[in-house]
Amino acid sequence: MSKISKFFKVGSTSSKNRGPTPQEAIHKLRETEEMLTKKQEYLENRIQQELTTAKKHGTKNKRAALQALKRKKRFEQQLAQIDGTISTIEFQREALENANTNTEVLKNMGYAAKAIKGAHENMDLDKIDSLMQDITEQQEVAQEISDAISRPVGFGEEYDEDELLAELEELEQEELDQNLVSMGGLPSVPSASLPSRPASKKKVDVNDDLDMEQLAAWAT
């Protein structure tokens, strides 16, 4: 049995009672990331040192230069492996964080569902319908009361519109007369008698004959 198989076998037997929580697993993964990041920095420094050593010896000591380049290659391979490992750990950590978030969301939604259920336990749909009907009726009554209050009060009396118009005309005539009086009054009737109407033709002729007779007697 390989060491890896033994490791997972031991881990599985030890975690039968209680597995790690998502928070614990995320914490462990973060620690591993930090350790690998430090390893990355170390390897990058070693690669730079070996490169400097190879340049330093160059053609003077080819054997030492080649050994430095070989070490540089090994460090680069290790660095590449660590880069891949960190990427895998980051992916696993993000998956755990998302799963933990989803778990918390579902848990809170479950609490909310229980709270809603508890709030609805004491509610009777028939009572709710009856209550809503009562509310509607009371709103209608309130509207009728508002309409009645805002309606002009006539005290139950009805008037003939024609009589009112006639009275209005009288008032207008009185106002017109008052205006005429204030402007000097109506024109006065002349005191002198008007000329009498001319007598008929027949009467005029008789008078003319009498005048002629009187004139003749005076002349004689």
pLDDT by residue for the chain (220 residues), tens only, comes to 555 555 445 555 554 567 888 888 889 999 999 999 999 999 999 999 999 999 888 878 889 999 999 999 999 999 999 999 999 999 999 998 898 889 889 989 998 988 888 888 877 778 888 888 889 999 999 998 888 887 766 555 566 788 888 888 888 888 888 888 877 655 555 555 555 555 444 454 555 666 666 656 655 5
Three-state DSSP state, 123:
coil
Residue 10 falls within a domain, yes or no? Answer: no
Phi-psi map region of 58: left, alpha, beta (phi>0 left; psi -120 to 50 alpha): left
Query: pLDDT value at position 115?
Result: 87
Residue 141 falls within a domain, yes or no? Answer: no
Residue 192 falls within a domain, yes or no? Answer: no
Residue 85: give its domain's CATH number.
1.10.287.1060
Residue 101 falls within a domain, yes or no? Answer: yes
Residue 219 falls within a domain, yes or no? Answer: no
Residue 130 falls within a domain, yes or no? Answer: no
Query: pLDDT value at position 37?
Result: 94
Note the Cα 196 to chain centre separation in Å.
96
- C-alpha 29/C-alpha 32 separation (Å) is 5
Residue 46 falls within a domain, yes or no? Answer: yes
Q: CA of 15: how far to CAs of 5, 89, 97, in Å?
A: 15, 21, 21
Specify whether the CB–CB gap between 91 and 33 falls below 8 A: no
Type of residue numbered 128: I
The pTM (predicted TM-score) of the whole model is 0.43
State the total domains in the chain.
1
Which domain, by its residues, includes 29? 20-123
Residue 83 falls within a domain, yes or no? Answer: yes
**Closest Cα to residue 29, out of 85, 109, 98, 106?**
85
